[in-house]
């Protein structure tokens, strides 16, 4: 058995691949309840017999489109989740934040949304307000879980990992945070244990889509920014810029009032 000190930017899936083991094996060995949340600076126990980790390759995948998430390498949340209310929000609160959302969809989405937020430590009013505001803008108030455009504009975009014919349409924006590009589908799928490369349509299903959004949020260290009230930087990390910033702020203000 050996120890490895977790570094900022590490994810459990990346470390499992580098050490030649599995995410589940590392999680069991280290009593990790949430494989998507590891703490920078903590020691990770690794079974003997596995090779030492290779240095991570530098570089990043740039953002996809004005309303798509920034696609940087995974980042480790380097602070423990703040204690909050794990009961989640109510359907009434969700509708007040997303006025265009029907009662039927609010009830359908709520269990998946609350579960995903709890999984990523989005359990305080400040974190929830910022998270829901960004999702509200990206998905048109949780009405669109798949990009209306065909995705053909992303064809051949190697910066998104779209290297095979048809990848643009196959890996177009899906989910409440509009995951886009083969490379991003692969990263999200590896983190969540879902083969999104073979089943990209699953990203548009609420049980998976909300988990993808929460994983993206947590892996980019956005909880700590929400704690600071730094909504502008949250927007930059998600969008790669500030497109639609005024609309995002309107959602944010409404969410803060409701929550």
Catalytic residues: 138
Q: Is 156 helix (H, G, I), strand (E, B) or coil?
A: coil
Q: How far is Cα 136 from Cα 107, in angstroms, rounded to an integer?
A: 16
Backbone angles phi, psi at 206, to 5 degrees: -60, -30
How far does CA 163 lie from the centroid of its chain?
23
CA torsion sign, 117 to 178 to 65 to 188?
positive
Written as one string, the DSSP assignment of 49-114 is TSPPPPPPPP--PPP-STTSPP-PPP----SPPPP--TT---HHHHHHHSTTS-HHHHHHHHHHHH
Going from the C-alpha of 9 to that of each of 59, 143, 256, the distances in angstroms are 12, 32, 30
């Amino acid at each position: 058995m050996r120890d490895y000190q977790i570094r900022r930017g590490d994810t459990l899936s990346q470390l499992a691949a580098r050490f030649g083991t599995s995410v589940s094996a590392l999680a069991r060995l280290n009593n990790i309840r949430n494989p998507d949340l590891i703490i920078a600076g903590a020691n990770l126990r690794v079974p003997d017999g596995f090779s030492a980790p290779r240095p991570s390759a530098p570089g990043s995948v740039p953002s996809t489109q004005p309303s798509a998430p920034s696609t940087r390498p995974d980042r480790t949340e380097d602070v423990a989740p703040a204690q909050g209310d794990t009961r989640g929000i109510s359907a009434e609160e969700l509708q007040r934040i997303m006025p265009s959302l029907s009662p039927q969809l609010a009830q359908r989405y709520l269990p998946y949304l609350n579960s995903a937020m709890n999984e990523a430590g989005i359990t305080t009013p400040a974190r929830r307000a910022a998270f829901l505001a960004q999702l509200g803008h990206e998905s048109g108030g949780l009405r669109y879980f798949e990009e209306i455009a065909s995705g053909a504009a992303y064809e051949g975009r190697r910066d998104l990992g779209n290297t095979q014919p048809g990848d643009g349409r196959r890996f177009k924006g899906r989910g409440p945070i509009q995951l886009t590009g083969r490379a991003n589908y692969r990263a999200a799928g590896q983190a969540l244990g879902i083969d999104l490369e073979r089943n990209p349509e699953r990203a548009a299903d609420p049980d998976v889509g909300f988990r993808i959004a929460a994983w993206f949020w947590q892996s980019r260290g956005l909880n700590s920014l929400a704690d600071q009230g730094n909504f502008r930087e949250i927007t930059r990390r998600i969008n790669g810029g500030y497109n639609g910033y005024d609309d995002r702020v309107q959602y944010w203000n409404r969410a803060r009032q409701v929550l």
